[in-house]
Structure formats: C-alpha cells, structure tokens
Structure 1
Amino acid sequence: MVPEALDPAERLAFVLHDMFGVPFDEIAPIVDRTPAAARQLASRARRRVRGGTPTAMPDRDLNRRRRVVEAFLSSA
C-alpha cells in the first residue's frame, strides 16, 4: 500500500493536511518540525503517493515513531 511507503511524519502531515484540512502551523508541533518543514513533509508524501519519488530509508527511531503515531491518534 502507498501509505506504508511514507515515513510516519510524512504520512501524518499528508493525512492531517490533505484529508482533514489541518493547517501546517498546527501540524508542525505534532511532527516536531517547523510549519515550513511540515509543509515539505506533506509535499514529499504527495510526490511519493503519485509515484514521483522512491521511498528512502525508514525512520529507525522507534520512540519518535511512537510519538508521531500517538499524536496522530490524539488528533483523530
């Protein structure tokens, strides 16, 4: 599945912004990035969903991944 090709922060920025209309300044603290970096995460995710960029190495930091998932579940 395409969402599995995204790293957790990309997936979160993409889903929150593109599916739920959450502004990047609200997404930024959830993914522990600046609003500009959150915008870039969503942009990169869009390109990957469209097939434009191959998947990079997955995020190996399990604590960070858990925080991102917990933040997503809290906001959902």
Structure 2
Amino acid sequence: MNLALTTGSEFKQWAFVLGGNAFAVVLMGRAGMFFFKEEWGKLITCFTASVFVGATVYSPETVQAVIGAVWSKVSEA
C-alpha cells in the first residue's frame, strides 16, 4: 500500500460506518430505556431516528436521492 497516493476514502468510509453504528446503538439504547419507562412518543422518535441513521450509513446514495426527490416535490408547490 502506497500511502503517498491514497485519498483516504477507505478511512473515511470506515469512520462513517463506525460513527453511524455507534450513534444508532446509542439511539436504540435510549429507545429501550423509553420502552421500560413506557414513554411511547419518545420511543417512536428514537426508533425512527435510529432507522434513519442506519439507512444513511449503509445506503447514503439512496437516502440522498430520496431527500432530493422529496425536496424537488416540495419546492415545486
């Protein structure tokens, strides 16, 4: 491996996945806490946020396309 010619894209992808997974784990932990405290609104919010984070980490191009499509529909109206 020639470090002088690398772009750092592998490290960027690794850091993005690791950080996203850590954030999703924290959100799911909080969701578990809200489940046991029976705070259903906060549970649903944390679960939705963790699903969004997971989608962003594992399929960023798809999420970008969906958000772009929704934004174009909103800006037309």
Shorter chain as denominator, the TM-score bin is 0.3 to 0.5
Which structure's residues are more often helix, by fraction? 2
Relative contact order higher in (CA < 8 Å, ≥ 6 apart): 1
**Who wins on radius of gyration, i.e. which is larger?**
2
What TM-score does the superposition give when structure 2 sets the normalisation length?
A: 0.36
What TM-score does the superposition give when structure 1 sets the normalisation length?
A: 0.37
